[in-house]
Chains A and B, each alone.
Chain A
């Protein structure tokens, strides 16, 4: 019995992690082979745009509304505290840095995992149970290239765009509170934002968003393609997909913060 056998949860987690990495490798390989051997586009553009529409355009209202309210709340709470010290003009910077570097990617990741991750797992899971995925494979069409590639690419490319929207919505919320509660004019608000936010904050947020997009899409596709046990299995996989994706996103966010703080120091 190895050390890992004594800790089954860790062993299972590592097995799943290696399977997700393997899914990524296989997907890239299958897609590249199709492009090289057949000299054709990696996948149907119509499927890719359908997925970008679902993941991006479809998520816009949720992401912008939640971020707006959170930006507003953040400004309200910090402003309430900072006003007692006469430092309420730190609020715009707090909201801006907090969202560009941390909350924007994290909240968008959590929202996307719940909305799109669950949809991908349920969709692919149902296809797996109905043998549709196997039928695609049996026809000689790579299912990873056909089903996984456009979904992963759509989420990875759309995540940074959604994070930008989330950041802007949060700033709008913060600006409203600053204007009506803290007497900071919109132009002064954006001047303070401009002075406080650095390029490294924006870059950190964008890198995180790309990474989170990759995690969410891979975990949800993996959970969908490995469904067993019919309708109940699809339900279990969907729940597991959302929980796993959110946990891994928060875990990687913490790890990224530790690395970034070490780099900046």
Chain B
């Protein structure tokens, strides 16, 4: 077994980025997904990554979690190289990151309570009473106290999304990753989820990276925005500046125009 020199649970380097991706290249066979991707995320910011469907946004989140490994380049979480971590260190690092999936990814065979309790039961030494208290607290944070004994199949898409968010919060992560948090929701529920993301990340002092291509949500949530196009970040800026970007790709994407440099006929990167 590989030695485990430094814990993957130490505090963030003061002032340093919580996530740093440098010259990341990832391809599946001949299909290039990311090429020379550079991204840095400061503590407590809410970075929204925008881009076309299939453009590598969700893949970027999976690289941060260490679920995928890049062909080349560096991915650092709190200064530690994710690409070189062995499994125990990766698992410890993942406990400091919460992930909210596009379709919630709640374990369908477990009740809402058991879904939230799962990481606590598997990864901590907490008693049943402590776990129940945390589950109740997190369900309360997302306004879902009454769903404790429901099965995921009995919940609506918006409710499942909230439970997914509550599950991501149970281990008090420093970083929360959101994969298309508003996808498939009506505009009202979508706004509720956006406000939850803002209030919860503020309340918990956590950093968040949100992947979306829904402009209203993106501008509502973001403290900083980045545009992923053809496998790399082509622009990063504050939302107010981003809205009036001079970059033709960014402005076409933000305005949702069909005419412009973005190729609407082919896959984002071939």
A130-B108, A141-B118, A141-B119 are known; give 19 further A-B pairs, CB within 8 A: A33-B1, A33-B88, A37-B88, A126-B108, A127-B108, A131-B101, A131-B105, A132-B107, A135-B105, A137-B67, A138-B99, A139-B99, A139-B122, A139-B123, A139-B171, A140-B91, A140-B93, A141-B91, A141-B123
Residue B23, interface by CB 8 Å: no
CB-defined interface of A130-151 with B at 8 Å, one 1/0 digit per residue? 1110111111111000100000
A residues near B65, Cβ cutoff 8 Å: 138
Residue A88, interface by CB 8 Å: no
How far is B67's CA from A141's CA once the two chains are assembled, in angstroms? 12
Residue B220, interface by CB 8 Å: no
A residues near B37, Cβ cutoff 8 Å: none
How far is B54's CA from A77's CA once the two chains are assembled, in angstroms? 63
Residues of chain B having any CB pair with chain A under 8 Å: 1, 62, 65, 67, 87-88, 90-95, 97, 99, 101-103, 105-108, 118-119, 122-123, 171
Given A138-B94, A141-B119, A142-B91, A132 and B99 contact (CB-CB distance below 8 Å): no
Given A141-B122, A141-B123, A146-B122, A135 and B88 contact (CB-CB distance below 8 Å): no
How far is B108's CA from A126's CA once the two chains are assembled, in angstroms? 10
CB of B225, distance to nearest CB on chain A (Å): 24
| B87–A33 CB distance below 8 A | yes
Residue A30, interface by CB 8 Å: yes
Instruction: Tell which of A30, A126, A138 touches B87, judged by Cβ atoms closer than 8 Å.
Output: A30
| 29 contacting pairs across A/B (C-beta < 8 A) | A29-B87, A30-B87, A33-B88, A37-B88, A126-B108, A127-B107, A127-B108, A131-B105, A132-B106, A132-B108, A134-B67, A137-B94, A138-B65, A138-B67, A138-B97, A138-B99, A139-B99, A139-B118, A139-B119, A139-B122, A139-B123, A140-B91, A140-B92, A140-B93, A140-B119, A140-B123, A141-B91, A141-B122, A142-B91
Chain B, Cβ-Cβ closest to A39 = B125
| A130–B103 CB distance below 8 A | yes
| B87–A131 CB distance below 8 A | no
Given A33-B1, A33-B87, A139 and B108 contact (CB-CB distance below 8 Å): no
A residues near B106, Cβ cutoff 8 Å: 132, 135
Given A30-B87, A137-B67, A138-B65, A131 and B95 contact (CB-CB distance below 8 Å): no
| B91–A135 CB distance below 8 A | no
Residues of chain A having any CB pair with chain B under 8 Å: 29-30, 33, 37, 126-127, 130-132, 134-142, 146
B residues near A138, Cβ cutoff 8 Å: 65, 67, 94, 97, 99
B residues near A146, Cβ cutoff 8 Å: 122
B residues near A130, Cβ cutoff 8 Å: 103, 105, 108
CB of A73, distance to nearest CB on chain B (Å): 40
B residues near A29, Cβ cutoff 8 Å: 87
CB of B31, distance to nearest CB on chain A (Å): 14
A residues near B171, Cβ cutoff 8 Å: 139
A residues near B95, Cβ cutoff 8 Å: 139-140
| B123–A136 CB distance below 8 A | no
Closest 3 interchain pairs by CB?
A140-B94, A135-B105, A140-B91
Chain A, Cβ-Cβ closest to B115 = A135
How far is B1's CA from A29's CA once the two chains are assembled, in angstroms? 9
How far is B92's CA from A37's CA once the two chains are assembled, in angstroms? 11
How far is B122's CA from A209's CA once the two chains are assembled, in angstroms? 32
CB of A44, distance to nearest CB on chain B (Å): 8
B residues near A141, Cβ cutoff 8 Å: 91, 118-119, 122-123
A residues near B93, Cβ cutoff 8 Å: 140
